[in-house]
Amino acid sequence: MQKQDLPTAAAPRALSGKDRLIVALDVPTMPEARALIKELAGEVGMFKVGLELFTACGIEIFEAVNEAGGRLFFDGKFHDIPNTVAGACKAVVMNKPALFNLHALGGRRMMQAAVAARDEAFEVLKEKHARAGGGRPPEKPTLIAVTVLTSMSAQALAEDLKISLPLDQMVPYLASVAQECGLDGVVASAQEASSIRLACGPGFLIVTPGIRPSWSGADDQARIVTPQDAIAGGADMIVVGRPITKAKDRVEAARKIVAELEGRA
């Protein structure tokens, strides 16, 4: 298992190891998701829900995470005309995610519409909460962008999409555009985090998927990036899936990753 070497950039946010850890609920059914949520709600900062689980379960998965006192990252990757994306953002905000995303390749108008819709819907949510009285106040959702999918190579970017800008320039450029449009951060591979941090500064959230702790198997990856590598490279939060969800003791696996993030491993 080959460990990936990355450039170093100071992590901008003073987060606990737990708050940095997002667990991917990459399972196909609601019972499997509920079991993971119940087991890990007190151990991790957030749960990521992607299109597979959302398509199978719908808004029920939002409710399950909220009821458990957890925080949810909706990995819906909105990409449509501005009006449609704005409507989707409003609908999502009312279901109280902590974090959700869209595709930066949707363009400036789409991203600006999404930010405005997020802000408008949150004001409605706050008013609704105030009228209801009591309970935990709603959290304003963080809105981040996907720049270029990690499955897309530089060759595919040039040949399939006819984008001439090299991948290592395209990613920080799109991150900068997202920042200009009012978004709070991006999803980025660990290889891209350092260049995004340099382009966008310390206040811009970087969430890094595909992390493998130092003690984990590589699964189908030839190279791995450990939690400490990702944070040193500029990431704020990491997404971990199988090393936790497929572990014999999932709570212990989560705790080991938190320890690794905090330099205690």
Which residues are tagged catalytic?
77
Tokens of 228: 């400490």
Q: What is the DSSP string of 48-115?
A: EE-HHHHHHHTTHHHHHHHHTT--EEEEEEE-S-HHHHHHHHHHHHTT--SEEEEEGGG-HHHHHHHH
CA neighbours closer than 13 Å in the CB half-sphere of residue 1: 13
Residues 6+ apart with CB under 8 A from 98: 46, 71, 72, 73, 139, 141, 142
Q: Whole-angstrom Cα distance, residue 75 to residue 54?
A: 9
Helix (H) or strand (E) holding 174, with range, is helix 167-180
Tokens of 142: 């963080």
**Distances, alpha carbon 242 to alpha carbons 24, 26, 32, 142, 209, in Å:** 8, 8, 14, 25, 12
Which residues on neighbouring strands pair with residue 142, listed in sequence order? 99
Lookup result for tokens 């395209």: 170
